[in-house]
Amino acid sequence: MSAVLKPAPALAPMREADLAEVIAVEDAIYSHPWTRGNFADSLAAGYECRTWRLEGELLGYFVLMVAAGEAHLLNLSVAPAWQRKGHGSALLREASAIARGLGARGIFLEVRPSNAGAQALYTRFGFRKIAVRRGYYPAHSGREDALVLTLALS
Ligand SMILES: CC(C)(COP(=O)(O)OP(=O)(O)OC[C@H]1O[C@@H](n2cnc3c(N)ncnc32)[C@H](O)[C@@H]1OP(=O)(O)O)[C@@H](O)C(=O)NCCC(=O)NCCS
C-alpha cells in the first residue's frame, strides 16, 4: 500500500511581497490590527519575521525580536479558516526554536485580558503571567491592559 503524504506547511522569512496578504489576515482577526508600516518597520529592523504557508496559502505568521539574551514575541497570528488546527502551537514552537538558537533565555509577550483563546494557547504552552501593563492597548472605548507572559527557554 502506498502512503499518501499530506503536504506540510513551511516556515519562510517574511518579505515586503508578503505584506498585502499579511495585512489581509491582520485586518480579519484584530480589532486594532498592525499596519503595513508596522510590518515594514519590523522587517527593516531585522526582527525575525516569518510566514507559515501551505501550498502557497498564508496560514499564519509571527514577528519575534531577539536582543540581549531575551526574545519578545510581538505578533503571532493564524488566519481565521486555519485556527484551532495546531498552527498557532506550531508557530510558537518555531519561534521558540529561533529564540533559543539566537541565545535567548526566555520569551516575553503581551496579550489582552479579553483574548481568552490566545491566553489558553500560551498557558498550554507553558507561559506564565508575570505582570500587567496598564492601558497598554488601544480599545474601542479608551485603553485595555496587557498581561505580560513569559516562558523560560532551556
Ligand atoms: C491565538 C491564535 C494564534 C491561536 O492559534 P491556533 O492555530 O488557533 O492555535 P492552536 O490550534 O495551536 O491551539 C492550541 C490550543 O490552544 C487553545 N486555544 C487556541 N485558541 C483558542 C480559542 N479561541 N479558545 C479557547 N482555546 C483556544 C486550545 O487549548 C487549543 O487546543 P485545542 O484546539 O485542542 O482545544 C489564533 O487564534 C489567532 O491568530 N487569533 C487572533 C490573533 C491573536 O489573538 N493573536 C495573539 C495575540 S497575543
- For residue 120 and ligand 1, the question of a CB distance below 6 A is answered with yes
| pLDDT above 70 for 20 | yes
Contact 136, 110 (CB under 8 A): yes
| Residue-level pLDDT at 4 | 83
What is the three-class DSSP state of 8? coil
The mean per-residue pLDDT over the stretch 27-37 comes to 97
Query: Distance (Å, rounded) from C-alpha 70 to C-alpha 67?
Result: 6
| pLDDT above 80 for 26 | yes
Ligand 1 pocket test: pick from 83, 87, 149 the residue with the most ligand atoms within 8 Å of its Cβ: 83
36 pLDDT band, cuts 50/70/90, is very high
Closest among 114, 132, 134, 111 to 123, alpha carbons compared: 111
For residue 29, give every residue at least 6 positions away whose Cβ sits within 8 Å of its Cβ, in sequence order, or none: 77, 78, 79, 80
| pLDDT above 70 for 144 | yes
End-to-end CA distance of the chain: 41
- For residue 28 and ligand 1, the question of a CB distance below 6 A is answered with no
Tell how far the Cα of 61 is from the centroid of ligand 1, in angstroms. 13
| Residue-level pLDDT at 113 | 96
| Residue-level pLDDT at 1 | 58
The residue whose CA is least distant from atom 25 of ligand 1 is 117
| Mean pLDDT, rounded, of the chain | 96
Q: Give the pLDDT confidence of 76-122 residue by residue, as tens digits.
A: 999 999 999 999 999 999 999 999 999 999 999 999 999 999 999 99
Q: Give the pLDDT confidence of 40-72 residue by residue, as tens digits.
A: 999 999 999 999 999 999 999 999 999 999 999
- For residue 76 and ligand 1, the question of a CB distance below 6 A is answered with yes
